[in-house]
Amino acid sequence: MSVVDAVRECTNRIEQHDAKIGAFVSRRDADALNDARSVDERIAGGASSGPLAGLPIAIKDNICTAGVATTCSSRMLASFIPPYDAHVIEKLRAAGAVIVGKTNLDEFAMGSSTEHSAIGTTRNPWDLDRVAGGSSGGSAAAVAAGIVPCALGSDTGGSIRQPAALCGVVGLKPTYGRVSRYGLVAFGSSLDQIGPFARDVRTVASVLSVIAGHDERDSTSADKPVPDYAGELQKPIAGLRVGVPAEYFGDGLDPQVKSRVTEAIDTLRDAGATLVDVHLPHMKYAIACYYVVATAEASSNLARFDGVHYGHRSVGHDNIIDLYAASRSEGFGDEVKRRIMLGTYVLSSGYYDAYYLKALKVRTLIKRDFEQAFQQCDVIASPVTPTTAFRIGEKSNDPLQMYLADIYTISANLAGIPAISVPCGFDDKGLPVGLQLAGGWFEESRLLQTAHTYLNRTDHHTKTPELTGTN
């Protein structure tokens, strides 16, 4: 198959399925075919074509792409066309990957279901009446439906791993600083990280090898060597210590999810790993801590979208205060407004010490929990989500219940450690369940080896949805 053939197959599948799913917000059909022809010509001419030559890939629409709209699924940025590529886009293009389109997300990456999108809800390919997860729901759904073999998302509190689990694909959040955030529209600057989705670990590893590495344009980018992640996948996990935290298996966890995850952990033991009980005592404070830190950073980052510096501008106003207020009221959706107000409140005079400063101290305690746990184990295994995919509209009017969908994922962002979701079975409704594996800082190789070993012993990731539902 030529690269042109592969890209045409992707565009055909978008035509065939995306009206039902709503994974894409924009497409690059003509430009993608031109890029594919260039790769085919380089391959035919014997020139260096790159480690990802011809790989069709979809990009979450909060990652800047030169000349292609980057909307963050918001009215605020409906007409924004970046004049530059994000660091990860530069690396993908240089490696020969072909970008076929941009994918839907919760507005400004704030949500857990991709229902908070100004463009429309993304539906789960396994059941079109259910959510695909969020905020990277479009990327996860596009991979799950077989539209593209790979996609990029961003993860601030679980936004790669949670939709990966609900859609039955592999999704990796790297260590904070492993992948440059240059060109990623900021939500929570100390939490955000870009990572890949795919149906298998090898593709995730190959893409990570390309997009990882130091970038001087991102002051938080780690200047550390990038391993050959795909080349190290076959290393055995015999003797690996897998930590099992009791705090992740308590009240609120669906019994079927618990059963599938427990079975997956037993599979790792059968592959030669040793199971170790570990404790993360401050995990119970993670939700409260996260929604102080993340909203505070969101309030600061989104202040630039005022209709003057950036973003949608309202018309018919006599003074700048009315212009600011109207532009932001018209441009932002309800969930983004809620988080901006929460963040502004916790940063305000008289409340900073009581909320924001205290949350930073709790964040340090959560990080120390992981440091102590990784003295006893190499990888921590847990559920990704408390339940399988819920119905569209089921939690959209209850922000607290929506926030609890990320209860098992946000602590990894607060600590900055890498974590991956891999498919580990299905519930009695045929909905996917995800196993989360978390590792020490910059231990992506070990994490990917463990995930790869697990997938080699199971076939859950090989199953594909039939795109059923009432939609």
pLDDT computed for residue 468 by the predictor:
63
Judged by DSSP in three states, 449 sits in helix
CA distance 332 to 72: 11
Return the amino acid letter for 200.
Answer: D
Instruction: Spell out the domains of the chain, with CATH numbers in brackets.
Output: 3-281+367-462 (3.90.1300.10)
pLDDT computed for residue 471 by the predictor:
52
Q: Catalytic site residues?
A: 60, 135, 159
Q: Tell me the β-bridge partners of 277.
A: 244
Give the pLDDT mean for 357-365: 98
Give the pLDDT mean for 237-266: 96
CA distance 294 to 193: 13
CA distance 210 to 156: 21
Give the pLDDT mean for 27-44: 96
pLDDT computed for residue 469 by the predictor:
62
Under the banding of pLDDT at 50, 70 and 90, the label for residue 164 is very high
Under the banding of pLDDT at 50, 70 and 90, the label for residue 307 is very high
Under the banding of pLDDT at 50, 70 and 90, the label for residue 126 is very high
Mean pLDDT is lowest, of 135-149, 341-355, 362-376, 395-409, for: 395-409
Decide: 171 and 149 in contact? Cβ < 8 Å. no
Note the Cα 74 to chain centre separation in Å.
Answer: 18
pLDDT computed for residue 214 by the predictor:
98
Determine phi and psi for 134, rounding to 5 degrees: -165, 170
Q: Could you report the per-residue pLDDT of 152-163, keeping only the tens digit for each? A: 999 999 999 999
Tell me the percentage of the chain whose pLDDT exceeds 70: 99
Average model confidence (pLDDT) for the chain?
A: 96
Q: Could you report the per-residue pLDDT of 46-97, keeping only the tens digit for each? A: 887 899 999 999 999 999 999 999 999 999 999 999 999 999 999 999 999 9
What number of other Cβ atoms are within 10 A of residue 400's Cβ? 9
Judged by DSSP in three states, 65 sits in strand
**CA separation, residue 25 to residues 223, 320, 452 (Å):** 34, 32, 31
Q: Could you report the per-residue pLDDT of 390-440, keeping only the tens digit for each? A: 999 999 888 888 998 999 999 999 999 999 999 999 999 999 999 999 999
Q: Tell me the β-bridge partners of 194.
A: 154
